[in-house]
Structure formats: C-alpha cells, structure tokens
A and B are shown apart, each in its own frame.
Chain A
C-alpha cells in the first residue's frame, strides 16, 4: 500500500535568498530503496535542495512529499515526524566536538531513544566496526581523527538511528581517491544493509557512477537531465556532456 508512493516526491520547488534565485522549480522523485545522485556545479543549489527536503530551510513554495505526506506548509509537529525518518552525512562530518566519538555515534540513541549509556556505547562501537573503525577510536575526540575517519564516524552516526532516507552531502570531497572509494563502498553497503533510500549530492563523477541507481543533473535551480548511469554515457544532453567531460566551454557558464 505504502509502496505506491515514491519515498520522496519534490514538485515545483522554489527558493530564493533575496534577489538570488537558487531553486527555480525543481521536480524530483526518489523511489523506495533507490539511490539517487544529484550532480551539478558549485552554487547550483544542491545543498539548498537537500536542506529543504530535511526541513532545515523553508522553501518559498512548492511541494515535498515524503511517503506521500506533504511536509511543506504543514504544522511543524507533523513535519517533524517526517524528518525523524531521515539521517544525514554532512560534508565536513559536522561531528559534535564537545562529545567523544562514541557519544557522537550514540547521540540519537541516548537523546531520543533514551537508551542507557552502557548499552548505547556497545551499540556505538558496533556501528564503528561496521564503518571499519576499531573500538580504540571510541573514546577519542573528533578533532583527533583524520578527515576520512571523521566521515566514517559521521556515517556511523547517520545509520545508527535506522533512517528510512539518508542524505549524503559531497561524501567524497576532500578525500584522496582511495579513501573516497572506501567511503563509496561503505555508503553502498550501509544503505543496502538498512534498506534505506539515499539522496547524494556530489560533483565527483567517479563517486556518482559508483553509488547511483539513477543520476539527476541540477543546473540553475532546475533538473536539466535525469537517467541511469548507462544512460549518462549515451546522452547527448549538452549540459551533461560538458559536466561529465569537465570542459570549461559549453552551455554551462561559470559565474566569475
């Protein structure tokens, strides 16, 4: 019954900051269990898009339905129930630096599920193992970890609350190619394991090809193309071609 609805359905979403139009009518659907990657250059509104879906930014108008339920323009309490199903891996990790690594991972368990500390720590260590970290790091503070390790802890924190939908904000940015691939594998692995739907924004094409079931391209606040990875290589959409091949000449103008 519930399967009839797409997991997330975004329709005609608009957002402007002052005179600057960031989202100009975005239409996007993510199906149950699907991994969608949104590609696009810097400043095309990718981050604003996922922040709108998560309720961190209120869109000007448009519709965002999660499991068929509207989250824009409904009372805050109703919307929060929808947001509670979401998890997010932030670009910089966004780990709480006043807490230790395991307290970060167990944050949702302790604060929302009221799990006793001892059990929460055991669970946190379990999640750290899942992302390939040993229990030695559990008591360190986040600032003592390398960038790749912080991303892993962020991933462990995101999956610890068993979300239905996970967002990845440029998961491989700032990592070396090998660590980036490790993170890609972890993303695929962990999303499959908990059976979640995933929405990733990135401009790393290698990462996009690897983790995507479907790819959508955002340019100037609109989705200009979407399709599977196989279709990505065949399409003659000039925006996609320019972006995938990384040329400075083409329909996409870099705003200097």
Chain B
C-alpha cells in the first residue's frame, strides 16, 4: 500500500525532475562552451567593443536615474529612522554603505538585465529561428565566438564600470537630499563620507558587478540560443532571460554579501 503511494509520488515527481536536470545539464554545457570560447582565440574585438558601448554607454541614463533616486530615498529613510539618535552622522554613513555595497550593484544589474538581457535574447533568438546562426556555421564562423563571447566579455567588463558610476551618482543623490531637503552641513557630510569610505565597499560592488554582468549576458545568450518555434519562442526566450537573470542576480547578491561580510 505504502509502496504504491511512494511509487506514484516518485512518478509524478519524475517528469519535471528529469526536465529540470536535463535543462541544468544543457545550461552547464553552454557555460563550459562559453567560457572555453572566451579563453581561446580568436576574439572579435570589434564586436566586443560594440557590445561594450551597447551595454555600458547606453545604459548610463537608466543606471544614473535609478541610483540617484535610490541614494535619495535612503537618505530620507535614514533620517526618519535615526532622528532620535543623531541622524546627521548616520545618514552619510548609511547612504555610503547602502549605495556602494548593495544598491548600486543590484539596481544596475536589474536595470541592465531588463534592458540588455531582453535585447540579447530577442536578437539571438531571432537569429536562431531565422536560421542565421546555422548560416554563420556554414560560413565557417563559430557562432559562439561571434555571438556569445563578445556579449559575455562585455558584460563582465562593463557592469563593474557602471556600478562605479552608480556609486558616485547614488552618493550624490543622498548628499543632495541631506543638504537641500534636510538642511545638513555640507562639509560635515562630505567629511563623514570620505572618512567612512573603505575599499572593501567599492571592491564588493565591483565583484558583484562582474558577476551580475556574467549572469545577464549568459541568460540572455542562453535563452536566445536555445529558443525555437518562431515569434512565440523568441518572446518566451526574452521573458525567461529577464526573469531568470533578475532572480539569479538577487540570489547571488545575497550569497556574495554573505561571503564577504559575515565573519
């Protein structure tokens, strides 16, 4: 009796489990191939440069807007929460730590995931369903090197730079709120910020940026590369790319923070 229940249960579990594991295997092979192709010549420098401009330069406005408001809102909330304990010194420190360690990397990552991850999946997916990827192969060009490698490298290189810019803009956002809205002393605020600034904060943000850049490009390329079945397939590839990279970014963010800041 019990054996039968267990059997049925395992059966019901079986199909999605097998699908999940084969998907995981497919992704692992894709990652291995991608990394192998990143490390072996030839690298298409022109394509790499174009991707860096696409991912980095054209993402500046969204990254700037999100981080400036993130910094501003942290300044407001810290002031509200710490007003009974002498908020003035706390605001600068909290803004600094929150922005550099968490907000700039995470917001940059999520924004770029939405902007670039979707575009990558849509472009590569369309190339897949219109046989352009097969056409690359028939012209003796490795599609991995031509399509995936430049995007992955560009993501890993450019995201940390975006985070760095996000750091500066986010802190500036906090500063403007503190000075113009909360009427703090500018000199004290800047002093506290500079004294409290530690290299670990910046380095953490850069590491996170590189990891997030890898995740975004990987999920965009993977979902596009494996898409099938015309317009609908490309549509779901795009959705999957954004959703999976956003979730992975938040999970990895927690893990990296845990590894660096818990002792």
Contacts and interface: CB of A to CB of B under 8 A. Distances in A.
Interface in B127-148: 127, 130-132, 134-141
Contact of B139 (A80, A91, A161): A161
A107 B135 CA distance: 11
B134 A51 contact: yes
B137 A108 contact: no
A90 B140 contact: no
Contacts of A92: 130-131
Contact of A112 (B132, B137, B140): B140
B138 A91 contact: no
A115 interface: no
A94 B140 contact: no
Contacts of A80: 140
B135 A108 contact: no
B139 A90 contact: no
A5 interface: no
A96 B132 contact: yes
A160 B141 CA distance: 15
Interface residues of A, number: 26
Interface in B213-252: none
B139 A94 contact: no
Interface string B134-178: 111111110000000000000000000000000000000000000
A93 B32 CA distance: 31
B131 A87 contact: no
A37 B139 CA distance: 22
Contact of A86 (B126, B127, B136, B138): B138
A94 B134 contact: yes
A90 B126 CA distance: 15
B131 A94 contact: yes
A90 B137 contact: no
Contacts of B137: 54-56, 83
Contacts of B138: 54, 56, 83, 86-88, 158, 167
A84 interface: yes
A190 to B, nearest CB: 16
A236 B127 CA distance: 43
Given A92-B130, A94-B130, A111 B135 contact: no
Chain B: number of interface residues, binned into ranges:
10 to 19
A90 B135 contact: yes
Contacts of A55: 137
B134 A111 contact: no
Interface string B93-134: 000000000000000000000000000000100110011101
B130 A112 contact: no
A91 B140 CA distance: 19
B140 A108 contact: yes
A90 B131 contact: yes
Nearest to B129: A92
Interface string B32-66: 00000000000000000000000000000000000
Contact of A88 (B127, B130, B135): B135
B121 to A, nearest CB: 15
A45 to B, nearest CB: 16
A94 B141 contact: no
Contacts of B139: 107-108, 111-112, 157, 161
B164 to A, nearest CB: 30
Nearest to B44: A111
B169 to A, nearest CB: 32
A86 B135 CA distance: 11
B140 A96 contact: no
A83 B130 contact: no
Nearest to B123: A98
Contacts of A56: 134, 137-138
A98 B126 CA distance: 12
A90 B141 contact: no
Contacts of B135: 88, 90, 94-96
A108 B146 CA distance: 13
Contact of B132 (A84, A86, A94): A94
Q: Which 7 A-B pairs have the closest CB atoms?
A: A94-B131, A94-B135, A88-B138, A108-B139, A90-B131, A84-B140, A94-B132
Given A56-B138, A111-B139, 14 more contacts: A55-B137, A90-B134, A92-B130, A94-B130, A95-B132, A95-B135, A96-B127, A97-B126, A97-B132, A111-B141, A112-B139, A112-B140, A157-B139, A161-B140
